[in-house]
Structure 1
Amino acid sequence: MSAIRTAAVVGGGIAGPVTALALRRAGIEATVYEAYENTADGLGGMLMVAPNGLNALEVVGVDRGLAGQPIHRMAMTDGRGRRMGEFGGLTGLPPSQVMWRADLYRAVRERAAAVGVQTVYGKRLSGVEETPAGVIAQFADGTQVTADVLVGADGIRSTVRQLIDPAAPGPQYTGLLGFGAYSEAEVPQARPDTMYFAFGEHAFLGYWPVPGRGTAWFGNLPYDEPLSAEQARATPPAAWMRILREKYAADVPGRDLLRGTCDDELLTFGGLEILPPVPKWYRGRMVLVGDAAHAPSSSSGQGASLAVESAVQLARCLRDIPDVGAAFATYEQLRRGRVEKVAAQAARTNSQKSMGPVATKVMALLMPLATRTFLTPEKMFGWTHRYRIDWDAPVAPA
């Protein structure tokens, strides 16, 4: 049985409640502290949960009723709509699911509440005092709480990460802005179980048919100036749509999807960011999880899945290893290599999204041969998607 009895989890997004669920299953009473006054219902764009993420969600009981659309394959096209290659699903694994972040957030939050996990809102962390027996979390409203350990699940701009290591790196801009929307246009012969990636002359576009709703799309626009979501939204949607329609004017099906999109329906996400490798994941009785420790680009399709994996692995380590330092070190050893490999692969994908017309044409020539020979689905996704966590297996100290 774990020597840890209580945990304060800072951050009430997706990683925080999942961490609390996993800790609770490990016999540790965890309370979630969220900086904002209310829940984040209805906020955020679309995300994909891969088979490895679905497996980790199953461990904490969030595997039923997810409002996702199954994606069995991925297809790559050039700016003229010509197929460059296709990757099918992996044998023996369920399909990935694409869903609104708000739907995953709601499912996780409702599961946490159902099993008795308490979430306290309006608690913005301002400092931490460590003692030999635990930590005292101090909040901006003057209150404080005591726990055996403190888990930073507070996102890519983590306060806990800065408390652990004031020299820790912050997020870096990828050179791409993110947009998305539903379009009334339908792409001929596009299948609802397939996600399409179109590499146009000036910008990248991903899309998939949504039965009864037309086509969902997301675009990555090369942009020199890093803009936060708030800064990007200061520009009216109609102005961004004029820019996007110009960028995709020569692309198929980009131009048609943009023409079929109402200006007011545009979702603007601001600059896409990644988190460089974080030197210190823990210190004393504080530890990081999710985007606070590792935030690959959204191009990875693994952000949510990796966060859930890390939450479950952290709970297993604290369950089985009495010494807190040894538990945190083992957790980091289990996770660091995997998440940094995913981040590196996503960085390469980002470079492909903004590589220009000449390089795009070269890729269009080479990709069909590659996908028929060495670039197989197993080699591309096997090591990420086949990752499984055996909750019942004991964890040995690193």
Structure 2
Amino acid sequence: MKETAIVVGAGLGGMTAALSLAFHGFKEIRIYEKSTKILNPIGAGIGINGSTLCLDKMNLSHVWKNAGHAVHSTRITAGNDKPSGFDIKRLLKGTILEDHFLVAKRNHLMKELWAECEKNPKIKTKLGVKISEYKNTENGAEVTFADGTTDSADIVVSADGIHSLGRDFVDPDCPPPEHSGLCVFYCILENVDKEKFPDHSTIEIHLNMGMALLMRISETDAMIVVAHQASEKWNVKSQNWTFDVSPEIFHELMEDHDFYKEQDWIDEKMIKGVTNLSHLGIYQQPHVSNWFRGNVILIGDAAHATSPFMGQGANQAMIDGYYLGRCLQDCEDVPSGAGLFFKVLNNRNKENQNKLSKNFTKHAIRQLVKLSTRPKVAPIF
């Protein structure tokens, strides 16, 4: 029986999974989200590529077209070296990702997907609900809430992020997420200088003790990402996913590391005026042995966390969400569908994760473009 589903987590992956399950024949999907707000996610902006193709398949092209901003070129600078760059639009011409390589404000994409979930009669969402336990039942799977009540369905999709309770159930022997020794600031710069930051472009800045990335994410705004070495305050032993942050704290780090002196793109006035600021520890998720146990299935960071520097975790989670619905539709029972889902995506995500984690501070955009168009990593349609 494959008619009902519970999705734990209303992030980009969870909402895409709900929409895909509805599109591929499920009759009722219930999303449970621990946050009381949908539009309060971590991260300023994300890169979307393969996920746009998945939305196309569900007749939801307008979602990424409304939220996304195309990336056509990138410039790379490192100290006094001569700047280099490449034409992304030309490199993608004739590939499946032609005109499908974009960046977006995370909130804008969340808003578009949320609107689709809200108007879909098969999908119901409840906020402010925390899950305390997963288990399989004779007829499907069940979740227990913090207040002791339960709900059950034919399948439970765990889209609950890197510190996933669902992963602990599916693979109890999997080691916890590992701090990489690096941290990253995310923020948005509004009303950018259009001469300094050309539209549809990115700027990759290699620093002595880190890296910065600037991306135009709309007609008026840009995303700034700065990765840096962890310190005593933001250390490798910390289990924090996010740190307390303010523009002043960001400015102090830029000064302490001489990041202002190493480049001409980001200045003090700019940093002190940013919005949507987050400061994250960069974690890597050890590969889990499987993405499902019975009728409980993992997607997104719960299964394969990717360094947040390139904003690719959300893109991969959305691809997962789409393929889960498609694989379950193509198979007679849940174990077969979940097994196919794992088989189709596991090797791709391993390669993607390994490549990005090793290269996210070296020619990050070039690495991402190459990975996005490789047959072993790009989605199969």
TM-score in terms of structure 2 length? 0.86
Task: For 2:315, give the aligned amino acid.
Answer: S
1:196 to 203, 206, 210: 203
**Deviation of 1:300 (Å):** 4.5
* In 1: Cα distance, 2:349 partner to 2:334 partner: 22
8 Å contact from structure 2 (residues 130, 145) kept in 1:
yes
Partner of 2:142: 136
8 Å contact from structure 1 (residues 43, 101) kept in 2:
yes
Give matches, 1:248-263, under 5 Å: 248-254=259-265, 256-262=266-272
Partner of 2:312: 302
Partner of 1:356: none
* In 2: Cα distance, 1:165 partner to 1:376 partner: 30
8 Å contact from structure 1 (residues 127, 138) kept in 2:
yes
In 2 relative to 1, CA 307–384 (structure 1 residues): closer, same or farther, beyond 3 Å?
farther
8 Å contact from structure 1 (residues 18, 311) kept in 2:
yes
1:382 to 373, 376, 379: 373
Task: For 2:99, give the aligned amino acid.
Answer: P
Partner SS state of residue 137, structure 1: strand
1:46 to 44, 47, 64: 44
Partner of 2:117: 112
Partner of 2:243: 232
In 2 relative to 1, CA 380–14 (structure 1 residues): closer, same or farther, beyond 3 Å?
closer
* In 1: Cα distance, 2:206 partner to 2:119 partner: 44
* In 2: Cα distance, 1:229 partner to 1:102 partner: 22
Partner of 1:62: 60
Percent identity of paired positions between Structure 1 and Structure 2: 22
In 2 relative to 1, CA 229–137 (structure 1 residues): closer, same or farther, beyond 3 Å?
closer
| Deviation by residue 1:119-161 (Cα, 9 ceiling, x = unmatched) | 1223221223422221222111222112111111111111111
Task: For 2:169, give the aligned amino acid.
Answer: L
Partner SS state of residue 293, structure 1: helix
* In 1: Cα distance, 2:225 partner to 2:286 partner: 24
Partner of 2:252: 242
In 2 relative to 1, CA 86–309 (structure 1 residues): closer, same or farther, beyond 3 Å?
same
1:318 aligns to 2:309 (yes or no): no
Partner of 2:93: 91
| Deviation by residue 1:28-70 (Cα, 9 ceiling, x = unmatched) | 1343333425223143323334331111122334321522221
Partner SS state of residue 276, structure 1: coil
Provide the alpha-carbon RMSD of the alignment: 3.0
**Deviation of 1:297 (Å):** 0.8
Task: For 1:4, give the aligned amino acid.
Answer: K
* In 2: Cα distance, 1:188 partner to 1:166 partner: 52
1:76 aligns to 2:67 (yes or no): no
Count of residues in Structure 1 that have an aligned counterpart in Structure 2: 367
Residues 50-59 or 10-19, more deviating? 50-59
Give matches, 1:119-130, under 5 Å: 119-130=125-136
Partner of 1:148: 154
8 Å contact from structure 2 (residues 131, 144) kept in 1:
yes
Partner SS state of residue 55, structure 2: helix
Q: Which has the larger radius of gyration?
A: 1
* In 2: Cα distance, 1:191 partner to 1:185 partner: 9
In 2 relative to 1, CA 138–208 (structure 1 residues): closer, same or farther, beyond 3 Å?
closer
Unaligned runs of 5+ in 1: 354-366, 391-398
* In 1: Cα distance, 2:367 partner to 2:301 partner: 29
Partner SS state of residue 20, structure 1: helix
**Deviation of 1:340 (Å):** 0.7
* In 1: Cα distance, 2:278 partner to 2:16 partner: 27
8 Å contact from structure 2 (residues 104, 218) kept in 1:
no
1:207 aligns to 2:214 (yes or no): yes
1:343 to 350, 353, 376: 353
* In 2: Cα distance, 1:376 partner to 1:341 partner: 12
